[in-house]
Amino acid sequence: MKNRVIVTGGAGFIGSNFILQWIAQEPGIVINLDKLTYAGNLRNLEQVSGHQHYSFVHGDICDRELVSDLLERNQPRAIVHFAAESHVDRSIHGPDDFVRTNVQGTFSLLEAVRAYWSALNESERADFRFLHVSTDEVYGSLGPGDAPFSESTPYSPNSPYSASKAASDHLVRAYHHTYGLPTLTTNCSNNYGPFQFPEKLIPLMILNARKGKPLPVYGDGQNVRDWLYVLDHCEAIRIVLAKGVPGQNYNIGGWNEKPNIEIVQTICALLDELSPKDPVVPHKDLITYVKDRPGHDRRYSMDARKIERELGWRPRETFETGIRKTVEWYLSNEAWIEEVTSGSYRQWIAKHYA
């Protein structure tokens, strides 16, 4: 049981970065349970696929029998729960998958874990942790002068995606208070970095700009987000897992609050420098404003002082250092990009931005 963890959704963007960091920096074993939906990609984990401390299981968190068997066979000391549908635009067009995975899936996982945890001896129960990875979007939207989200901010989700994540957060909280399950919940701001599926803002802009395609910016481009480099997020999760207090929530933010248009302009400037032979330079000439999406939250801002004060974590990357690393990664990994941008992804982009 010592330092053996099961990661759900470990082939996705944040999950795969977490596993790569775990294998590099932790002595324990990690088992990756992933359904491999459109955003799950085992190529993200090629460098550890043969590692003695890593194994992959293809499966669905809604399959309680499979999860129960996995728990019994591996006897983990922790679950790190990333598995989720996570794209707001997709949740607007098709909310069913979000309710199934994020709500029903988390419930099924909690039930299987509760049965497993209840059968452990006293010291093993005390050492066990269930860490649930969530989002700042559960808190709703802020006005320009509002204080940042804190761990005590009331939930006010505005999209099917954020509502489904809020529901999963409440289930995790309930299982701690009702059954004593030692849970931890982290609420992160917008992540960016290597291996992010190119439907999200930053990779979409990089890829479109390189091909001379329009850079679609919603509304007036003044929607504000806090940006967190994915490897900083992964480090924070490891610290919460090691030192967090069961039953507590921890906000994880990057201290980088910026409007979307500034993000796009920064990417364009970096590509002007790093990829000057692209079809359209300066890349900012490709910026195109498109109709705003329904229920688009105006501003997110994270107060991440609790995790710094209580657990000693603060992000290593500034936005300037993190976005440069991200652009350079996408410029250096064209084979990965070509694979993930084929087929169904292209159909989705064509439908959504038509």
> Which amino acids are annotated catalytic?
136-137, 161
Largest CA distance in the chain: 64
Q: Is 291 helix (H, G, I), strand (E, B) or coil?
A: coil
Distance CA 116, CA 72 (A): 7
Residues belonging to the chain: 354
Residue 280 one-letter amino acid: V
293 three-state secondary structure: coil
102: DSSP letter: I
Q: 354 exposed, middle or buried (CB, 10 Å; 0-12, 13-18, 19+)? A: exposed
Q: Rg of the chain over CA atoms, in angstroms?
A: 20
| Whole-angstrom distance, CA of residue 267 vs CA of residue 206 | 7
Sign of CA dihedral 184, 141, 233, 194: positive
Beta bridge partners of 194: none
Decide the pairing of beta strands 190-192 and 54-58: unpaired
